Chain A
Amino acid sequence: DTGVSQDPRHKITKRGQNVTFRCDPISEHNRLYWYRQTLGQGPEFLTYFQNEAQLEKSRLLSDRFSAERPKGSFSTLEIQRTEQGDSAMYLCASRETGAVYNEQFFGPGTRLTVL
């Protein structure tokens, strides 16, 4: 499978716990994006990487959120001290290097439930 993959697909945690999600982009895609989608809403941008550099962060990304892409391949998104409001689907997307109009390809998402 050469698509974007995300792990885990589902995560249930208790409030206050830390969670970490992983995203493996399509190989050779140097641009990687994280989005968050809550029920009944469209995805909202969280952060973006070009290779290993984190180039943009949304105001939605509070201090409890951190994202990394250490070798410019896979990325991790960590949420510390989770809150019930963090319950959402976390989507990862990657985009091919080159033409600015290239579309983003999305992974299946990680659905987080904070109890």
Chain B
Amino acid sequence: AQKVTQAQTEISVVEKEDVTLDCVYETRDTTYYLFWYKQPPSGELVFLIRRNSFDEQNEISGRYSWNFQKSTSSFNFTITASQVVDSAVYFCALRLGSGNTPLVFGKGTRLSVIA
């Protein structure tokens, strides 16, 4: 069975600090996809990034960066120079590569950025 663990339930940082959100996944499949979604107070899940299991290149997009390490089954997300608008719940999710399987989500990490 697939599982995603986000051990940090809540994180609070002061604006401009860097913050890393942890994600550990479990699957026996060799082909899978990892995602990060942001859920602001409005409730809508916003797609941030997708990574496939064959691509371990780290990625940077503006203040966001992602570190994918298959050796530790982790897909961590770092926000550099955090801003108040980054306050939200962040979800890590896993989807198998076989067929049209649904997403398996972690429980989320609530990030509060204080001005």
Query: Interface of A with B (CB < 8 Å)?
Result: 31, 33, 35, 40-45, 48, 50, 55-56, 58, 89, 91, 93, 95, 100-101, 103-109, 111
Contacts and interface: CB of A to CB of B under 8 A. Distances in A.
Interface residues of B, number: 23
Contacts, number: 59
Contacts of A40: 107-108
A112 to B, nearest CB: 13
Contacts of A111: 43
Given A42-B91, A42-B108, A104 B44 contact: no
B50 interface: yes
Contact of B45 (A41, A43, A100): A43
B104 to A, nearest CB: 8
Contact of B103 (A45, A107, A109): A45
Contacts of B61: none
Given A42-B91, A42-B108, A100-B97, A108 B102 contact: no
